[in-house]
Homo-oligomer: A and B are copies of this chain.
Amino acid sequence: MRKYRNAEIQEVTVQDKFLSPRMAANRQVTVPYSYKRCQETGRIDAFKLDWKEGMPNRPHIFWDSDVAKVLEGMAYVAAGKSDPELEKTADALIDLIVSAQQPDGYLNSYFSGIQPELRFKNLYTNHELYCAGHLIEAAVAYFQATGKRKLLDAMCRYADYIDSIFGPEENKLKGYCGHEEIELALVKLFRVTGNQRYLNLAKYFVDQRGQEPNYFLEENKRNKTGAYPERMIVFQAHKPVREQDKAEGHAVRAVYLYSAMADIAAETGDRSRLDACNKIWDNLTSKRMYVTGGIGSSRIEEVFTLDYHLPNDSAYAETCADIGLVMFASRMFNLTGDGKFMDVLERALYNGLLAGISLEGDKFFYANPLEVTGHFIEAGHVKAVRQPWFGCSCCPTNLCRFLPVMGSYLYSIGANELMINIYAAGEAEFNLGTGRVKLQVESSYPWDGDINIRLQEATTGKFTLGLRVPAWSPEITVKVNGQVSNNTTENGYVKISREWRKDDKIEIKLAMPVTALHCHPEVSYNSGRIALQRGPLVYCLESIDNKAPLGSIIIPEQQDFKLKAIDSITPGAIAITGSAFIENPEASADLYFSGIPAKAETTFTAIPYCLWQNRGPSEMAVWIRTV
């Protein structure tokens, strides 16, 4: 049922100034650094199953997932670039992980090493199947990167064991994990092994969710897990998934579930889960998503809250949720070919997601607020200084595995169709139909909308090239070999079907004006405010460039915004500058006062949100007052 697949990472070489440095920092810093942190904190040693009371670093129920995500990242790094040293480390880690596998196939460092009596006794909070899912994803990635089967085979044994425990048959558990993840992992395992059993198990876990009697509530009756009816929505277990029509509950879990629902629709052709996904998508993107692509407004339970509840300063917008939104959006695009999904994917990737990690690759945001006022930089509800690691370090390790695969989202490949989604500079090479297509993209995207594409090879004859027209661009012109192409835009793509040949040239000009975005008036936080966007990038003010408090700055909407190179933050980067007013330049000491506040003329400098706090802690605001 899928129209497209993502590019494989081996098919794409990213050579731009935006994504490439992030991928390099991940390879050179984030992955080795995270591996080291996993060692230091005992996460890796936990697989030795020899922890005893009194030893340091007591293992934790979801440590396996951190190690798995780092290993998955290592696999993608190895896939992109031969690295024997890295592979040696990964092989040794895999040996250790597999050594922890029990004779029956079960593999979990915590529940084998520390509390074996609790195996599968508390699906509600214990994250066992979640950890299994991440180990499966790592195994698939490492097999695909290196051809080595050791972890894959172990994970098949584990999945077989899980399948023997869970399912509709009378003697099996009717449960599913409190934190979704295994569902989409099992689809990956099915795809790489062809074993239908894994797809069926994924489908079972997805469809069983929220059915009556509710498994978590039944489990609670047996062994007091703490589950209660009102909280089922946090786990997307408040009703069967095909009846769900709003983005609800814990945001990361939600988008992992929705990704699996889309995967199952793709593999089975059954539209029922896709229909639910479409309804959920509409709710999520039209009422519950920050302009940065961040999702999950509340730190309390890390959940979606209510329609139009998008507070800026207390925004949770977890980095992992951004990653999950990219995963969900990509699957929806591949199923439907509708560019609206790619617009959101790009928004999440180029803004909220990359804000989650420092340019150096060694500091992380768990939560990504859209506004940080003076007193909140180092305190308060959402700590607004990137941290080197977290007790619950899902975000750093999720970035380890996400950053190396960014290239795979740039292209989608269908039957005799090649879609260019995001015009990052680089090269790509695909088998298409009966031949090959190799192309080179020259651009300064996202800093500039001029894109030149050259076919370096094209042996497949006639095929359709899809060129995305981003929703943020008011105008696109496309020339093929110097001739203006008048193909119309369809679902957000200009599609050109022809006998493409070597050395064909495509010139794309995407208008990339500075746009002042307004927000739906029900989002009262943003009324009377604008957010500046240029291309896919949402901008923000930092107090390092502007007078604080940022709430006193007013940017007139109607003006000629200027662009300014800010190579000092990262080469190629561009700021937006312009004229502004500052209210109460000599801020009154009074908390409340009457009289029209004085206004003084000033200028402002806005930088891309994804680059904020790379020059030290600073006040920051995305939504700025306007007149």
Contact = CB atoms under 8 A, between A and B. Distances in A.
Number of copies of this protein chain within its complex: 2
Given A308-B373, A314-B311, A592-B517, A587 B522 contact: yes
Given A549-B524, A558-B596, A589-B286, A309 B376 contact: yes
Interface string A95-111: 00000000000000000
Given A314-B314, A521-B552, A625 B376 contact: no
A520 interface: yes
Contacts of A594: 515-518
A286 B590 contact: yes
Interface in A502-519: 515-519
Given A521-B583, A625-B527, A380 B591 contact: no
Contacts of A550: 524
A313 interface: yes
Contact of A380 (B309, B519, B527, B557): B309
A192 interface: no
Interface string A470-492: 00000000000000000000000
What bracket does the count of chain A residues touching chain B fall in?
35 or more
Interface string A368-380: 0001011110011
Given A309-B375, A375-B307, A376-B309, A627 B625 contact: no
A380 B518 contact: no
| Interface SS of A by simple majority | loop
Contact of A518 (B519, B520, B531, B593): B593
Contacts of A438: none
Interface in A282-327: 285-287, 289, 291, 298, 300, 305-309, 311, 313-314
A435 interface: no
A593 B521 contact: no
A597 interface: yes
- The 5 A-B pairs at the shortest CB distance, nearest first, are namely A524-B551, A521-B552, A527-B551, A306-B375, A522-B549
28 contacts: A286-B591, A287-B591, A289-B591, A305-B380, A306-B379, A309-B376, A311-B313, A313-B524, A373-B522, A374-B522, A375-B522, A516-B594, A517-B594, A518-B593, A518-B595, A520-B587, A520-B590, A520-B591, A520-B592, A521-B552, A522-B587, A524-B550, A527-B549, A527-B583, A528-B529, A528-B625, A557-B596, A558-B596
Given A373-B522, A523-B551, A524-B549, 8 more contacts: A309-B376, A311-B314, A518-B597, A519-B591, A525-B525, A527-B549, A527-B625, A528-B554
